[in-house]
Structure 1
Amino acid sequence: MPSCATPSPIDVRDLRLDTAHALAVQAGADDAALRSLPPVQYVQSLIDGLCELSLQDPLTGLANRRHFETVLAQEMDRVSRSGESALLLMMDIDHFKRINDLHGHVVGDKVLQSVAQVLRACVRPMDTLARYGGEEFVVVLPTCQTAFGAMVAERIRRMVAETPIRVSPTQVLQVTLSVGGAFAMPWIRSTPQLWIERADQQLYLAKSGGRNGVRIEAPPDSTVSAEEKSLLFGGSFPSSVWGSLPASDAASSA
Protein backbone atom coordinates (compact mmCIF):
# COMPACT_ATOMS: atom_id res chain seq x y z
CA MET A 1 0.00 0.00 0.00
CA PRO A 2 1.26 3.50 -0.79
CA SER A 3 2.43 5.52 2.15
CA CYS A 4 0.08 8.28 3.34
CA ALA A 5 2.70 9.95 5.48
CA THR A 6 2.82 13.73 5.29
CA PRO A 7 6.00 14.86 3.52
CA SER A 8 8.45 16.58 5.81
CA PRO A 9 8.73 20.37 5.35
CA ILE A 10 11.72 21.76 3.49
CA ASP A 11 14.28 23.57 5.57
CA VAL A 12 15.32 26.73 3.71
CA ARG A 13 18.85 26.23 5.03
CA ASP A 14 19.07 23.07 2.92
CA LEU A 15 18.43 25.01 -0.31
CA ARG A 16 21.23 26.56 -2.35
CA LEU A 17 19.85 30.08 -2.72
CA ASP A 18 23.03 32.19 -2.70
CA THR A 19 22.99 32.81 -6.46
CA ALA A 20 19.25 33.53 -6.50
CA HIS A 21 19.68 35.92 -3.58
CA ALA A 22 22.57 37.72 -5.29
CA LEU A 23 20.56 38.13 -8.50
CA ALA A 24 17.58 39.52 -6.58
CA VAL A 25 19.80 42.07 -4.81
CA GLN A 26 21.48 42.97 -8.11
CA ALA A 27 18.03 43.62 -9.57
CA GLY A 28 17.22 46.08 -6.79
CA ALA A 29 15.93 44.04 -3.86
CA ASP A 30 17.03 45.16 -0.39
CA ASP A 31 19.47 42.62 1.03
CA ALA A 32 18.63 43.21 4.70
CA ALA A 33 14.88 43.26 4.04
CA LEU A 34 15.08 39.96 2.18
CA ARG A 35 17.01 38.24 4.98
CA SER A 36 14.54 39.45 7.59
CA LEU A 37 11.60 37.67 5.94
CA PRO A 38 10.15 34.43 7.31
CA PRO A 39 11.41 31.36 5.36
CA VAL A 40 8.36 30.86 3.13
CA GLN A 41 8.08 34.55 2.25
CA TYR A 42 11.83 34.68 1.62
CA VAL A 43 11.70 31.86 -0.93
CA GLN A 44 8.58 33.32 -2.57
CA SER A 45 10.27 36.73 -2.89
CA LEU A 46 13.27 35.12 -4.58
CA ILE A 47 11.01 33.23 -6.99
CA ASP A 48 9.05 36.40 -7.83
CA GLY A 49 12.26 38.34 -8.38
CA LEU A 50 13.76 35.69 -10.66
CA CYS A 51 10.54 35.51 -12.69
CA GLU A 52 10.67 39.28 -13.19
CA LEU A 53 14.32 39.12 -14.21
CA SER A 54 13.57 36.39 -16.76
CA LEU A 55 11.22 38.81 -18.58
CA GLN A 56 13.56 41.81 -18.52
CA ASP A 57 16.33 42.95 -20.83
CA PRO A 58 19.40 43.33 -18.59
CA LEU A 59 20.91 46.31 -20.44
CA THR A 60 17.91 48.60 -20.89
CA GLY A 61 15.52 47.36 -18.21
CA LEU A 62 12.75 47.03 -20.80
CA ALA A 63 10.74 43.90 -21.39
CA ASN A 64 12.70 41.29 -23.32
CA ARG A 65 11.72 39.42 -26.45
CA ARG A 66 10.23 36.50 -24.50
CA HIS A 67 7.82 38.78 -22.66
CA PHE A 68 7.01 40.73 -25.82
CA GLU A 69 6.04 37.57 -27.73
CA THR A 70 3.72 36.49 -24.92
CA VAL A 71 1.99 39.88 -24.84
CA LEU A 72 1.74 39.98 -28.64
CA ALA A 73 -0.05 36.63 -28.76
CA GLN A 74 -2.47 37.72 -26.02
CA GLU A 75 -3.21 41.00 -27.78
CA MET A 76 -3.79 39.30 -31.12
CA ASP A 77 -6.25 36.93 -29.48
CA ARG A 78 -8.07 39.87 -27.85
CA VAL A 79 -8.33 41.77 -31.12
CA SER A 80 -9.62 38.72 -33.00
CA ARG A 81 -12.43 38.34 -30.44
CA SER A 82 -13.30 41.99 -29.73
CA GLY A 83 -12.59 43.68 -33.06
CA GLU A 84 -10.76 46.50 -31.25
CA SER A 85 -7.70 48.10 -32.77
CA ALA A 86 -4.11 47.46 -31.75
CA LEU A 87 -0.87 48.77 -33.24
CA LEU A 88 2.54 47.13 -33.38
CA LEU A 89 5.54 49.41 -33.93
CA MET A 90 9.01 48.15 -34.78
CA MET A 91 11.83 50.69 -34.33
CA ASP A 92 15.47 50.57 -35.34
CA ILE A 93 18.28 52.99 -34.42
CA ASP A 94 19.72 54.32 -37.67
CA HIS A 95 23.41 53.61 -38.43
CA PHE A 96 23.95 51.97 -35.05
CA LYS A 97 26.85 49.85 -36.35
CA ARG A 98 28.66 53.07 -37.23
CA ILE A 99 28.31 54.21 -33.60
CA ASN A 100 29.88 50.98 -32.34
CA ASP A 101 32.65 51.13 -34.93
CA LEU A 102 33.55 54.78 -34.25
CA HIS A 103 33.00 55.03 -30.50
CA GLY A 104 33.11 51.47 -29.16
CA HIS A 105 30.54 49.16 -27.61
CA VAL A 106 30.50 50.94 -24.25
CA VAL A 107 29.20 54.07 -25.98
CA GLY A 108 26.84 51.90 -28.01
CA ASP A 109 25.38 50.51 -24.78
CA LYS A 110 24.86 54.05 -23.44
CA VAL A 111 23.02 54.97 -26.63
CA LEU A 112 20.74 51.94 -26.27
CA GLN A 113 20.00 52.83 -22.65
CA SER A 114 19.27 56.46 -23.50
CA VAL A 115 16.96 55.60 -26.40
CA ALA A 116 15.15 53.09 -24.18
CA GLN A 117 14.60 55.84 -21.60
CA VAL A 118 13.15 58.18 -24.24
CA LEU A 119 10.87 55.45 -25.59
CA ARG A 120 9.65 54.64 -22.08
CA ALA A 121 8.57 58.28 -21.67
CA CYS A 122 6.61 58.12 -24.96
CA VAL A 123 4.33 55.18 -24.21
CA ARG A 124 1.37 54.60 -21.90
CA PRO A 125 1.45 52.31 -18.84
CA MET A 126 -0.86 49.92 -20.73
CA ASP A 127 1.59 49.61 -23.66
CA THR A 128 4.32 46.96 -23.77
CA LEU A 129 7.73 48.30 -24.77
CA ALA A 130 10.51 45.79 -25.33
CA ARG A 131 13.98 45.41 -26.72
CA TYR A 132 13.56 43.06 -29.65
CA GLY A 133 17.25 42.48 -30.25
CA GLY A 134 20.40 44.48 -30.98
CA GLU A 135 19.38 48.06 -31.74
CA GLU A 136 15.75 47.17 -32.46
CA PHE A 137 12.81 47.97 -30.18
CA VAL A 138 9.11 47.09 -30.36
CA VAL A 139 5.98 48.38 -28.70
CA VAL A 140 2.48 46.90 -28.60
CA LEU A 141 -0.21 49.58 -28.26
CA PRO A 142 -3.65 48.15 -27.43
CA THR A 143 -6.78 50.17 -28.22
CA CYS A 144 -4.80 52.56 -30.43
CA GLN A 145 -7.21 54.01 -32.96
CA THR A 146 -6.08 53.80 -36.58
CA ALA A 147 -6.44 57.57 -36.97
CA PHE A 148 -3.73 58.13 -34.34
CA GLY A 149 -1.20 55.44 -35.31
CA ALA A 150 0.98 57.65 -37.48
CA MET A 151 0.82 60.47 -34.93
CA VAL A 152 2.06 58.19 -32.14
CA ALA A 153 4.89 56.83 -34.27
CA GLU A 154 5.92 60.30 -35.41
CA ARG A 155 6.01 61.60 -31.83
CA ILE A 156 8.33 58.73 -30.88
CA ARG A 157 10.60 59.38 -33.87
CA ARG A 158 10.76 63.11 -33.14
CA MET A 159 11.48 62.67 -29.42
CA VAL A 160 14.45 60.39 -30.14
CA ALA A 161 15.83 62.71 -32.83
CA GLU A 162 15.55 65.76 -30.54
CA THR A 163 17.11 64.19 -27.44
CA PRO A 164 20.90 64.62 -27.12
CA ILE A 165 22.76 61.64 -25.65
CA ARG A 166 25.70 62.50 -23.41
CA VAL A 167 28.11 59.58 -23.64
CA SER A 168 30.99 61.30 -21.82
CA PRO A 169 31.63 64.64 -20.06
CA THR A 170 32.80 66.11 -23.36
CA GLN A 171 30.83 64.19 -25.97
CA VAL A 172 27.19 64.34 -27.01
CA LEU A 173 25.64 62.23 -29.76
CA GLN A 174 22.40 62.60 -31.70
CA VAL A 175 20.71 59.53 -33.11
CA THR A 176 17.62 58.95 -35.20
CA LEU A 177 15.05 56.19 -35.40
CA SER A 178 13.22 54.50 -38.24
CA VAL A 179 9.72 53.28 -37.38
CA GLY A 180 7.43 50.79 -39.09
CA GLY A 181 4.00 49.78 -37.92
CA ALA A 182 1.00 47.60 -38.66
CA PHE A 183 -2.43 47.25 -37.06
CA ALA A 184 -3.75 43.87 -36.01
CA MET A 185 -6.50 42.51 -38.23
CA PRO A 186 -9.78 42.91 -36.29
CA TRP A 187 -12.07 39.89 -36.08
CA ILE A 188 -9.44 37.75 -37.85
CA ARG A 189 -7.43 35.03 -36.09
CA SER A 190 -4.03 35.58 -37.66
CA THR A 191 -0.63 34.75 -36.09
CA PRO A 192 1.84 36.89 -34.15
CA GLN A 193 4.54 36.05 -36.69
CA LEU A 194 2.48 37.49 -39.56
CA TRP A 195 1.81 40.65 -37.55
CA ILE A 196 5.55 41.04 -36.90
CA GLU A 197 6.34 40.47 -40.58
CA ARG A 198 3.85 43.16 -41.66
CA ALA A 199 5.33 45.71 -39.24
CA ASP A 200 8.87 44.70 -40.19
CA GLN A 201 8.07 45.27 -43.86
CA GLN A 202 7.04 48.83 -43.03
CA LEU A 203 10.26 49.29 -41.05
CA TYR A 204 12.21 48.15 -44.10
CA LEU A 205 10.38 50.75 -46.21
CA ALA A 206 11.16 53.47 -43.67
CA LYS A 207 14.87 52.62 -43.71
CA SER A 208 15.12 52.18 -47.46
CA GLY A 209 13.31 55.50 -47.89
CA GLY A 210 16.10 57.43 -46.22
CA ARG A 211 15.80 56.51 -42.51
CA ASN A 212 14.62 58.79 -39.70
CA GLY A 213 11.07 58.26 -40.92
CA VAL A 214 7.78 56.54 -40.22
CA ARG A 215 5.84 54.07 -42.33
CA ILE A 216 2.51 52.66 -41.15
CA GLU A 217 0.64 50.02 -43.13
CA ALA A 218 -2.76 51.24 -44.29
CA PRO A 219 -5.35 49.69 -41.95
CA PRO A 220 -7.70 47.13 -43.49
CA ASP A 221 -11.17 48.30 -44.47
CA SER A 222 -13.44 46.47 -42.07
CA THR A 223 -16.51 48.63 -42.69
CA VAL A 224 -19.74 46.65 -42.89
CA SER A 225 -22.15 48.02 -45.46
CA ALA A 226 -25.87 48.53 -44.80
CA GLU A 227 -26.72 45.58 -47.04
CA GLU A 228 -24.25 43.32 -45.21
CA LYS A 229 -25.72 44.37 -41.87
CA SER A 230 -29.20 43.53 -43.18
CA LEU A 231 -28.08 40.03 -44.08
CA LEU A 232 -26.11 39.53 -40.86
CA PHE A 233 -28.89 40.59 -38.53
CA GLY A 234 -31.86 38.99 -40.28
CA GLY A 235 -33.42 42.01 -41.98
CA SER A 236 -35.18 41.92 -45.36
CA PHE A 237 -33.11 41.12 -48.42
CA PRO A 238 -31.58 44.20 -50.08
CA SER A 239 -32.53 44.97 -53.67
CA SER A 240 -29.20 43.81 -55.04
CA VAL A 241 -29.85 40.33 -53.61
CA TRP A 242 -33.43 40.12 -54.92
CA GLY A 243 -32.16 40.51 -58.46
CA SER A 244 -29.88 37.48 -58.11
CA LEU A 245 -32.57 35.11 -56.77
CA PRO A 246 -34.68 32.83 -59.02
CA ALA A 247 -38.33 33.93 -59.28
CA SER A 248 -39.55 30.94 -57.24
CA ASP A 249 -37.08 31.66 -54.40
CA ALA A 250 -37.89 35.36 -54.39
CA ALA A 251 -41.61 34.61 -54.13
CA SER A 252 -41.12 32.18 -51.25
CA SER A 253 -38.94 34.69 -49.41
CA ALA A 254 -41.47 37.50 -49.71
Structure 2
Amino acid sequence: MSSPASPASVHLRDLDLSTAHALVCQSPAGMQALQGRAPREYLQALIDHLCELSLKDPLTGLPNRRFIQAVLQSEIDRVARSGEAALLLMLDIDHFKRVNDQHGHGAGDLVLQAVARTLECCLRPMDTVARYGGEEFAIILPACQFGFGRAVAERVRRAIEDTPIVISPTQTLRVTVSIGGAFALQWIRSTAQLWTERADAQLYHAKASGRNRVCIEEQPDTTVSAEEKNLLFGALYTSSTWGDLPGPHDPPVCSAN
Protein backbone atom coordinates (compact mmCIF):
# COMPACT_ATOMS: atom_id res chain seq x y z
CA MET A 1 0.00 0.00 0.00
CA SER A 2 1.48 3.31 -1.05
CA SER A 3 1.95 6.05 1.52
CA PRO A 4 -0.06 9.27 1.16
CA ALA A 5 1.59 12.14 -0.65
CA SER A 6 3.37 14.64 1.53
CA PRO A 7 2.18 18.27 1.40
CA ALA A 8 5.34 19.22 -0.51
CA SER A 9 4.44 16.82 -3.34
CA VAL A 10 0.93 18.20 -3.93
CA HIS A 11 0.64 20.32 -7.09
CA LEU A 12 -1.99 22.97 -7.77
CA ARG A 13 -3.01 21.17 -10.94
CA ASP A 14 -4.07 18.21 -8.76
CA LEU A 15 -6.54 20.38 -6.81
CA ASP A 16 -9.92 21.73 -7.84
CA LEU A 17 -9.60 25.34 -6.70
CA SER A 18 -12.01 26.96 -9.13
CA THR A 19 -14.80 27.59 -6.59
CA ALA A 20 -12.41 28.87 -3.93
CA HIS A 21 -10.68 31.10 -6.48
CA ALA A 22 -14.02 32.53 -7.65
CA LEU A 23 -15.09 33.29 -4.07
CA VAL A 24 -11.89 35.14 -3.24
CA CYS A 25 -11.92 37.06 -6.55
CA GLN A 26 -15.36 38.51 -5.82
CA SER A 27 -13.51 41.36 -4.12
CA PRO A 28 -10.84 43.49 -5.86
CA ALA A 29 -8.50 42.98 -2.91
CA GLY A 30 -8.85 39.23 -3.13
CA MET A 31 -8.28 39.21 -6.87
CA GLN A 32 -5.16 41.33 -6.51
CA ALA A 33 -3.83 39.08 -3.75
CA LEU A 34 -3.92 36.05 -6.07
CA GLN A 35 -2.53 37.60 -9.22
CA GLY A 36 1.02 36.84 -10.27
CA ARG A 37 1.78 34.56 -7.34
CA ALA A 38 4.07 31.58 -7.34
CA PRO A 39 2.15 28.32 -6.64
CA ARG A 40 3.03 28.14 -2.95
CA GLU A 41 2.28 31.84 -2.37
CA TYR A 42 -0.94 31.58 -4.36
CA LEU A 43 -2.20 28.68 -2.26
CA GLN A 44 -1.32 30.44 1.00
CA ALA A 45 -3.08 33.64 -0.12
CA LEU A 46 -6.12 31.61 -1.16
CA ILE A 47 -6.30 29.91 2.25
CA ASP A 48 -5.83 33.20 4.12
CA HIS A 49 -8.62 34.94 2.21
CA LEU A 50 -10.98 31.98 2.59
CA CYS A 51 -10.42 32.10 6.36
CA GLU A 52 -11.17 35.82 6.32
CA LEU A 53 -14.38 35.23 4.35
CA SER A 54 -15.51 32.58 6.82
CA LEU A 55 -15.37 35.13 9.65
CA LYS A 56 -17.07 38.03 7.88
CA ASP A 57 -20.71 38.86 7.22
CA PRO A 58 -20.97 39.42 3.44
CA LEU A 59 -23.74 42.03 3.63
CA THR A 60 -22.40 44.42 6.26
CA GLY A 61 -18.69 43.61 6.14
CA LEU A 62 -18.71 43.18 9.93
CA PRO A 63 -17.33 40.12 11.70
CA ASN A 64 -19.91 37.36 11.96
CA ARG A 65 -21.20 35.21 14.79
CA ARG A 66 -18.39 32.67 14.43
CA PHE A 67 -15.80 35.40 14.93
CA ILE A 68 -17.43 37.03 17.93
CA GLN A 69 -17.84 33.71 19.72
CA ALA A 70 -14.06 33.40 19.76
CA VAL A 71 -13.69 37.00 20.99
CA LEU A 72 -16.24 36.38 23.75
CA GLN A 73 -14.30 33.42 25.08
CA SER A 74 -11.01 35.30 24.90
CA GLU A 75 -12.50 38.24 26.82
CA ILE A 76 -13.97 35.92 29.46
CA ASP A 77 -10.52 34.42 30.01
CA ARG A 78 -8.97 37.90 30.32
CA VAL A 79 -11.58 39.11 32.82
CA ALA A 80 -11.24 35.92 34.87
CA ARG A 81 -7.48 36.47 35.15
CA SER A 82 -7.37 40.24 35.63
CA GLY A 83 -10.71 41.11 37.19
CA GLU A 84 -11.11 43.99 34.73
CA ALA A 85 -14.55 44.95 33.48
CA ALA A 86 -15.99 44.02 30.07
CA LEU A 87 -19.45 44.72 28.70
CA LEU A 88 -21.44 42.79 26.11
CA LEU A 89 -24.23 44.64 24.32
CA MET A 90 -26.87 42.90 22.20
CA LEU A 91 -28.79 45.18 19.79
CA ASP A 92 -31.95 44.47 17.83
CA ILE A 93 -33.40 46.77 15.17
CA ASP A 94 -36.94 47.63 16.21
CA HIS A 95 -39.75 46.56 13.86
CA PHE A 96 -37.30 45.44 11.19
CA LYS A 97 -39.87 43.11 9.62
CA ARG A 98 -42.02 46.16 8.97
CA VAL A 99 -39.19 47.68 6.92
CA ASN A 100 -38.97 44.56 4.75
CA ASP A 101 -42.75 44.29 4.39
CA GLN A 102 -43.32 47.94 3.48
CA HIS A 103 -40.20 48.77 1.48
CA GLY A 104 -38.77 45.43 0.33
CA HIS A 105 -35.76 43.37 1.29
CA GLY A 106 -33.44 45.65 -0.65
CA ALA A 107 -34.36 48.48 1.71
CA GLY A 108 -33.86 46.11 4.64
CA ASP A 109 -30.33 45.39 3.41
CA LEU A 110 -29.60 49.13 3.21
CA VAL A 111 -30.83 49.55 6.79
CA LEU A 112 -28.57 46.76 8.03
CA GLN A 113 -25.58 48.27 6.24
CA ALA A 114 -26.31 51.74 7.60
CA VAL A 115 -26.64 50.46 11.17
CA ALA A 116 -23.37 48.55 10.78
CA ARG A 117 -21.55 51.71 9.58
CA THR A 118 -23.00 53.76 12.44
CA LEU A 119 -21.89 51.20 15.00
CA GLU A 120 -18.36 51.18 13.62
CA CYS A 121 -18.20 54.99 13.78
CA CYS A 122 -19.28 55.39 17.41
CA LEU A 123 -17.08 52.69 19.00
CA ARG A 124 -13.42 52.49 19.97
CA PRO A 125 -10.85 50.60 17.86
CA MET A 126 -10.45 48.12 20.73
CA ASP A 127 -14.18 47.25 20.70
CA THR A 128 -15.61 44.44 18.58
CA VAL A 129 -18.91 44.80 16.75
CA ALA A 130 -20.43 41.94 14.78
CA ARG A 131 -23.61 41.01 13.00
CA TYR A 132 -24.94 38.30 15.26
CA GLY A 133 -27.75 37.20 12.98
CA GLY A 134 -30.74 38.70 11.16
CA GLU A 135 -31.27 42.22 12.49
CA GLU A 136 -29.29 41.57 15.68
CA PHE A 137 -25.80 42.89 16.40
CA ALA A 138 -23.35 42.23 19.23
CA ILE A 139 -20.71 44.54 20.70
CA ILE A 140 -17.91 43.58 23.08
CA LEU A 141 -16.42 46.50 25.03
CA PRO A 142 -13.30 45.54 26.99
CA ALA A 143 -12.13 47.75 29.85
CA CYS A 144 -15.59 49.34 30.13
CA GLN A 145 -16.36 50.15 33.75
CA PHE A 146 -19.87 49.61 35.06
CA GLY A 147 -20.44 53.31 35.62
CA PHE A 148 -19.90 54.01 31.90
CA GLY A 149 -21.84 51.07 30.43
CA ARG A 150 -25.20 52.79 30.23
CA ALA A 151 -23.71 55.98 28.78
CA VAL A 152 -21.97 54.02 26.04
CA ALA A 153 -25.12 52.07 25.18
CA GLU A 154 -27.19 55.26 25.14
CA ARG A 155 -24.69 56.92 22.81
CA VAL A 156 -25.01 53.97 20.43
CA ARG A 157 -28.81 54.04 20.62
CA ARG A 158 -28.99 57.77 19.91
CA ALA A 159 -26.48 57.57 17.06
CA ILE A 160 -28.63 55.01 15.24
CA GLU A 161 -31.85 56.90 15.95
CA ASP A 162 -30.33 60.11 14.55
CA THR A 163 -28.96 58.53 11.36
CA PRO A 164 -31.08 59.06 8.21
CA ILE A 165 -30.98 56.03 5.90
CA VAL A 166 -31.49 56.69 2.20
CA ILE A 167 -33.33 53.77 0.60
CA SER A 168 -34.17 55.52 -2.70
CA PRO A 169 -33.55 58.90 -4.36
CA THR A 170 -36.81 60.15 -2.86
CA GLN A 171 -37.16 58.23 0.40
CA THR A 172 -35.30 58.23 3.71
CA LEU A 173 -35.92 56.05 6.75
CA ARG A 174 -34.97 56.25 10.38
CA VAL A 175 -34.84 53.23 12.64
CA THR A 176 -34.35 52.65 16.36
CA VAL A 177 -32.74 49.83 18.30
CA SER A 178 -33.33 48.10 21.61
CA ILE A 179 -30.17 47.30 23.56
CA GLY A 180 -29.49 44.82 26.33
CA GLY A 181 -26.20 44.55 28.16
CA ALA A 182 -24.40 42.38 30.69
CA PHE A 183 -20.93 42.61 32.21
CA ALA A 184 -18.59 39.66 32.29
CA LEU A 185 -18.29 38.08 35.72
CA GLN A 186 -15.08 39.35 37.27
CA TRP A 187 -12.67 36.73 38.63
CA ILE A 188 -15.01 33.97 37.41
CA ARG A 189 -14.44 31.82 34.33
CA SER A 190 -17.94 31.67 32.86
CA THR A 191 -18.88 30.70 29.29
CA ALA A 192 -19.67 32.64 26.15
CA GLN A 193 -23.12 31.08 26.05
CA LEU A 194 -24.04 32.20 29.58
CA TRP A 195 -22.71 35.72 28.99
CA THR A 196 -24.72 36.00 25.77
CA GLU A 197 -27.86 34.66 27.47
CA ARG A 198 -27.59 37.28 30.21
CA ALA A 199 -27.26 40.10 27.67
CA ASP A 200 -30.10 38.61 25.62
CA ALA A 201 -32.34 38.62 28.70
CA GLN A 202 -31.75 42.35 29.08
CA LEU A 203 -32.47 42.85 25.38
CA TYR A 204 -35.79 41.08 25.91
CA HIS A 205 -36.58 43.45 28.80
CA ALA A 206 -35.78 46.47 26.62
CA LYS A 207 -38.10 45.24 23.87
CA ALA A 208 -40.86 44.30 26.32
CA SER A 209 -40.60 47.73 27.94
CA GLY A 210 -41.46 49.52 24.71
CA ARG A 211 -38.32 49.28 22.51
CA ASN A 212 -35.87 52.07 21.64
CA ARG A 213 -34.28 51.84 25.06
CA VAL A 214 -31.36 50.37 26.99
CA CYS A 215 -31.42 47.77 29.76
CA ILE A 216 -28.18 46.86 31.52
CA GLU A 217 -28.01 43.96 33.96
CA GLU A 218 -27.34 44.76 37.59
CA GLN A 219 -23.67 44.25 38.28
CA PRO A 220 -23.37 40.88 40.07
CA ASP A 221 -21.54 40.71 43.37
CA THR A 222 -18.25 38.91 42.73
CA THR A 223 -16.57 40.10 45.92
CA VAL A 224 -14.15 37.56 47.36
CA SER A 225 -14.10 37.50 51.14
CA ALA A 226 -10.92 37.16 53.21
CA GLU A 227 -11.97 33.63 54.18
CA GLU A 228 -12.49 32.68 50.54
CA LYS A 229 -9.12 34.13 49.61
CA ASN A 230 -7.42 32.02 52.26
CA LEU A 231 -9.24 28.91 51.04
CA LEU A 232 -8.27 29.66 47.44
CA PHE A 233 -4.72 30.89 47.87
CA GLY A 234 -3.59 29.68 51.28
CA ALA A 235 -2.76 31.46 54.49
CA LEU A 236 0.24 33.12 52.86
CA TYR A 237 -2.07 35.66 51.25
CA THR A 238 -3.98 37.74 53.76
CA SER A 239 -6.67 40.29 53.20
CA SER A 240 -4.11 43.05 53.66
CA THR A 241 -2.05 41.52 50.86
CA TRP A 242 -4.91 41.24 48.39
CA GLY A 243 -6.96 44.27 49.37
CA ASP A 244 -10.69 44.58 48.93
CA LEU A 245 -12.16 43.67 45.57
CA PRO A 246 -15.02 45.76 44.14
CA GLY A 247 -18.47 45.23 45.62
CA PRO A 248 -21.90 45.36 43.95
CA HIS A 249 -23.45 48.44 42.43
CA ASP A 250 -26.98 49.70 42.68
CA PRO A 251 -29.33 48.01 40.21
CA PRO A 252 -29.97 49.97 37.02
CA VAL A 253 -33.31 50.53 35.37
CA CYS A 254 -34.22 50.55 31.71
CA SER A 255 -33.76 53.94 30.14
CA ALA A 256 -35.61 55.33 27.15
CA ASN A 257 -35.07 58.32 24.95
- What CA distance in whole angstroms lies between the structure 1 residues aligned with 2:33 and 2:117? 29
Per the alignment, in what secondary structure is the counterpart of residue 203 of structure 2? helix
Q: Would the alpha carbon gap of residues 9 and 168 (structure 1) be closer, same or farther in structure 2, given more than 3 Å must change? A: same
Partner of 1:240: none
Q: Would you identify which runs of 4 or more consecutive aligned residues in structure 1 move more than 4 Å?
A: 5-8, 223-232
Offset at 1:99?
0.6
C-alpha contact (below 8 Å) 1:27/1:53 kept by paired residues: no
Cα pair 1:88 1:139 within 8 Å, conserved:
yes
Deviations 1:108-148 (CA, angstroms, capped at 9, x unpaired): 11111111111111222222211111100001111111111
Amino acid at match of 2:88: L
Shift in Å at residue 86 of structure 1?
A: 0.6
1:192 to 2:195 alignment: no
Q: Please name the residue that 1:173 is paired with.
A: 173
Flag the 1:40–1:219 CA change in 2: closer, same or farther, 3 A: same
- Residue 191 of structure 1 and its aligned partner are, at CA, apart by 1.6
Query: 2: distance between equivalents of 1:24 and 1:45?
Result: 9
Q: Report the Cα distance in structure 2 between the residues aligned to 1:146 and 1:197, rounded to whole angstroms.
A: 19
Alignment CA distance shift 1:116-1:221 (3 Å)? same
2:109 maps to 109
Are residues 1:158 and 2:158 paired? yes
Matches within 5 A, 1:50-89: 50-89=50-89
1:90 matched residue in structure 2: 90
Question: What is the CA-CA distance between 1:7 and the residue it aligns to?
Answer: 7.4
> Computing the radius of gyration over CA atoms, which structure comes out larger, 1 or 2?
1
TM-fit CA distance, 1:223: 4.7
Q: How far apart are the structure 2 equivalents of 1:148 and 1:6?
A: 55
Cα pair distance change 1:6/1:109, threshold 3 Å: closer
- Residues 228, 105 of structure 1: alpha-carbon distance in 2 compared, 3 angstrom cutoff: same
Give the aligned partner of residue 45 of structure 1: 45
* Rounded Cα–Cα distance in structure 2 between residues aligned with 1:235 and 1:84: 19
What displacement does 1:73 show? 1.2
User: Cα RMSD over matched residues?
Assistant: 2.6
Change (3 A) 1:146 1:39: same
CA contact (8 A) 1:87 1:141 kept: yes
Q: Give the C-alpha shift of residue 224 in structure 1.
A: 5.7
Shift of 1:9: 2.4
For the structure 1 residues 53 and 30, does the alpha-carbon distance in structure 2 shift closer, same or farther, using more than 3 Å as the test?
Answer: closer
Gaps of 5+ in 1: 237-254
In the aligned structure 1, how far is the partner of 2:196 from the partner of 2:7? 48
